[in-house]
Amino acid sequence: MSTPHYPRVACALTTAAALTLTAGCGLGENRDDPQPADRTASTAPAQQGAVTRDEAKELLSTYVAANNRANATQGTSQSPSSQARKLLSTVEGGQLLEQSIADYMTWHTQTAKEQKEYARPFYYVHPAVYAPAGERWFAIQATVDRTGWTALIIFDQVEGQGWRNVATVALGSKKSDRLPSPIATDRAGLATAVNPTTRSGRLAPNQVADAFTDFFAAGGTGAGQALSRSASTDQALKVYKDRNKGPDSQAATKRFEPGDARHQQIYALKLRDGSTLAVVPSAHDQFYELKKEYILRAKIIPNGEEAVFNPTKRIAVIDEFQGMLLAHLPTSGKPTILSHEYRMVDSQ
């Protein structure tokens, strides 16, 4: 990955079976609760979330248990990564699965300590369910027990496959993992989804990825000017500034360009203060190329992770990074990237 962040729940951590959801936050009554007998036929049916509390609890428990088993399978030398991938794909999808597959493929490039940490079980604690009214997806906010990181987890229905965890993003740094405002819920305990094209302050959720990628590609001098500075933009800016430093910079140059996220779905929720919280897919490509005068007398040797995808020495190495952003879009002013998470998923 381009920069290290919090341990990703889906891959960098593992988890054991049962977890408990607190009954308080997020969802109200179960869908199957009896309705008042005097309700008339003319009364409009109340909107519902995609799941009840109990259903969300079961889905999260199933996901965590399968994730644990997949990571444990990956951690045994006798079991190839394809088995772990097959197991995890039964409960995971979207950008998150793209990153998990990359983790499994590059498993042997990690240190023994990293592999051991990766395969350790984990639990979610203090989970709260947020199901938007009338939508086919829902979110869970929960904390990883042994690290203290708080994450926002998105479950969606993958066509023909059922429920999958499609995104897991940190709320922020470990020292500041509280949302700017709590997620809004109505009297029934249902959250409110925000259209990805609806502007809040300077940007709409579907404009956030381009603005953030600008920090990699142009140091934030273009579309990135619409974002406020944060730990995420500072890290991306450092990658940009350091792109041509080091002993090899005399012979080769590095640059970044916006890429296409393999999965385009954006998930956005309304916060109590009227602002928007958005989980946004993001991608960029890294180009590492020999200068013209070195093309005939040198080759670039791919590093360990790059060699997993293509071990050939070549005049240019193009790495594809797929990731996710968590953004806060205030009602006025500049949006903030609360966290970002990338994995290199291909290299050619």
CA atoms within 13 A on the CB side of 229: 6
Whole-prediction pTM: 0.85
Q: Is the pLDDT at 29 greater than 70, yes or no?
A: no
- What crossing angle do the helices spanning 53-74 and 81-88 adopt, rounded to 10°? 180
pLDDT at residue number 43: 57
- pLDDT digit string, tens, across residues 105-141: 999 999 999 988 888 888 899 999 999 999 999 999 9
84 located within any domain: yes
Rounded to 5 degrees, φ, ψ at 114 are -65, -40
33 located within any domain: no
- pLDDT digit string, tens, across residues 187-199: 999 999 999 999 9
For the beta carbon of residue 253, count every other beta carbon within 10 angstroms. Answer: 14
206 located within any domain: yes
Domain tally, the chain: 1
- What crossing angle do the helices spanning 81-88 and 94-105 adopt, rounded to 10°? 170
Query: Residue 279 is part of which domain span?
Result: 53-347
82 vs 200: which has the higher pLDDT: 200
Q: Is the pLDDT at 305 greater than 70, yes or no?
A: yes
Token duo for residue 279: 């989980």
Distances (CA, A) of 11 to 129, 155, 169, 251, 309: 22, 16, 12, 36, 19
H-state helical runs in 247-297: none
257 located within any domain: yes
24 located within any domain: no
Tokens 């991306």 belong to residue: 236
289 — pLDDT class (breaks 50, 70, 90) = very high
317/285 Cα distance (integer angstroms)? 10
208/185 Cα distance (integer angstroms)? 24
309 located within any domain: yes
Beta bridge partners of 268: 278
240 located within any domain: yes
157 located within any domain: yes
129/127 Cα distance (integer angstroms)? 7
C-alpha torsion 87→308→110→239, nearest 10: -110
